[in-house]
Amino acid sequence: MSAYQDNEKYGEERVEYTEKSSRRASVAEEVLDLSGIEATAASKAAWLISLTISQAGLLFGYDTGYISSVLVTLGSALGHELSHSEEELVTSLTSGGALVGAVYAGLSADKYGRKMPIWVACVLFLVGTILQTAAFSVAQFAVGRFIVGLGVGSASMIAPLFIGEIAPARYRGRMIAFNNLSVTFGQFIASCLGAGFQHAGPQGWRATVGIGAIPAITLAGLLFFVPESPRQLVAHGKVEQADRSLQKIYTTSTEQQRANKIKSIQVSLEETKSVMSETSLWQTAGKIFTNAATARAVGTACIVMAVSQLGGFNTLMYYAATLFAIAGFSNATAVAITVSATNFVFSFVNLVLVDRFGRRIILCVTILGMAICMAVAAISFHFIPISQADLSISGVAPTWAAPLLLVAIVCYVAFFSSGVATIAWIGTELIPLEVRAIGTMFNTVTCWSTNIIIASTFLSIMKGASPTGAFSLYGSICFLGWLFVIFCYPEVKGMPLESIREVFQNGFGVRYSKQWQRENKHVPKVVTQTFGH
């Protein structure tokens, strides 16, 4: 090809690129102009809807939280004392089930809506809980754990997606944070009940497990009063139902504002030529891998999710009592409550700050804090004499080592809970509407696949590489995650979901998002309305 032809081809590509960029900018401006409804007050109903959906997080938290105490109180209730490999098996099976459940929810969410997968999750929670409570063998208990995991995966995938789509932009971070708050509350309650029923005899753990059926039944009933996602309804051509749903969320909005919001969703859908109800699953999934901007958006969400799991938190949640017993604490189950309590309390920090200061700055501070705390924990373990053969104390540790380890772990959990724990799920806001369900499925699959790695390898790594080596590994992962956030994570607080798609059009959009935040300071603020008003 001649130089002239090369230049001519390059010129045509530049013209095409410029036209596409101008078209995208025009669409983004139109979407923003049509989102005037965001300046109206969110009703109490919007908050109550978010709280109701967040109860799926309570199920998630409770059923992943009780295993720590159950592992140290099971004894021979399942026929024999569990080995380390059997403990890893029954712990990781829930994560394995969650991986499958997340895939199911992702495949069905666009076809059947956001509510149906949550109902299915409630049924799975109930069945799995009954199987575990009545188990007298490792096999039955393991099957119950897997079935509960199916429900956990479905609920954890749909709840933040659902809330993100019904939440006003101004409150989106806080409303999704309700879900994580529910997760941490469920884990805290599970830890407390586990410690309490430890003194109820050798079968007390069955009560701890069985109580998990109550929130599943409650959520299934409350879900009848929750409207479907307006964006999902518009995608399926149910405009009148979408209008009624928006009216429940924005009670002070006008008919014209709701019509404009529906139009903004339609514009976003039309821009991508991908109405969900008319696009096959493979076509939708393919957009994630064939469109660079979409791949960057989904990839960013998934990487932050991977850091939240591979950074080591769930080793503390699943094995807290076991870990503190290894460190030499006499009442390890009671001490383990500090982990879930800290996790719950600091979830409120994120709830208060995430929409005020934004996602990026919170991640920058907290992930670095996690890395430092893991380094301190690794140093503490170095001075605690532990036999790697059976992970037991083999000598006398310095009096400062165990308390320093506890402080490091508590601070780590505080950083985790106030930052990446919630923002990893808020990351669904980065994913374009036309692939949001599938993209959120990938995000949730990332969560549970990395969770499986942590749950099924922690004790083995502790024995093979020593506790110091294990916690050094988790600290290194946190540090790499911090570098990724610094260079690649954009700030999208306050952006309408239909506008976020522009962030990743040219790179990871860190500069673009900063510019958008500066240029849209004039956009009217949403009137604050709380439960007390």
Phi, psi of 454, deg, nearest 5: -65, -50
pLDDT reported for residue 16:
44
**Contact call for residues 322 and 72 (beta carbons, < 8 A):** yes
pLDDT reported for residue 391:
65
Domains, the chain:
32-273+288-519 (1.20.1250.20)
pLDDT reported for residue 201:
73
What does the DSSP assignment read for 11-43?
HHHHHHHHHHHHHHHHHHHHHHHTTGGGGSPPP
How far apart, in whole angstroms, are the C-alpha atoms of residue 493 and residue 16?
31
pLDDT reported for residue 14:
40
pLDDT digit of tens for each residue in the chain (533 aa)? 544 444 444 344 344 434 444 445 454 554 455 555 665 555 677 788 888 888 888 888 888 778 877 887 787 888 888 887 888 888 888 888 888 888 888 777 777 778 888 899 999 999 999 999 999 998 999 999 999 999 988 887 788 878 878 877 777 777 877 787 888 888 889 888 887 887 777 788 899 899 989 989 999 999 888 888 888 888 888 888 888 888 887 777 788 888 888 888 787 767 654 444 445 556 666 667 778 888 898 999 999 999 998 998 877 777 777 777 766 666 667 777 888 888 888 888 877 888 788 889 999 999 999 999 999 999 988 887 777 666 666 666 667 887 888 889 989 999 999 999 888 888 878 888 777 777 888 888 888 888 888 878 888 888 888 888 889 999 999 999 999 999 999 988 877 766 777 888 888 888 888 888 887 766 544 333 322 22
Centre a 10 Å sphere on the Cβ of residue 267 and count the other Cβ atoms it contains: 16
DSSP 8-class letter at 491: -
pLDDT reported for residue 307:
94
Burial bucket for residue 485 (CB in 10 Å: 0-12, 13-18, 19+)? buried
pLDDT reported for residue 132:
92
Q: Is the dihedral of CA 336, 409, 348, 458 positive or negative?
A: negative
pLDDT reported for residue 204:
84
Q: Return the closest-CA partner of residue 524 out of 490, 494, 493, 492.
A: 494
**Contact call for residues 40 and 252 (beta carbons, < 8 A):** yes
Task: Indicate the angle between helix axes 332-357 and 401-418, nearest 10 degrees.
Answer: 30
Q: How many helical (H) and strand (E) elements, i.e. helices and strands, does the chain have?
A: 22, 2
Phi, psi of 455, deg, nearest 5: -65, -35
Indicate the pTM of the whole model: 0.68
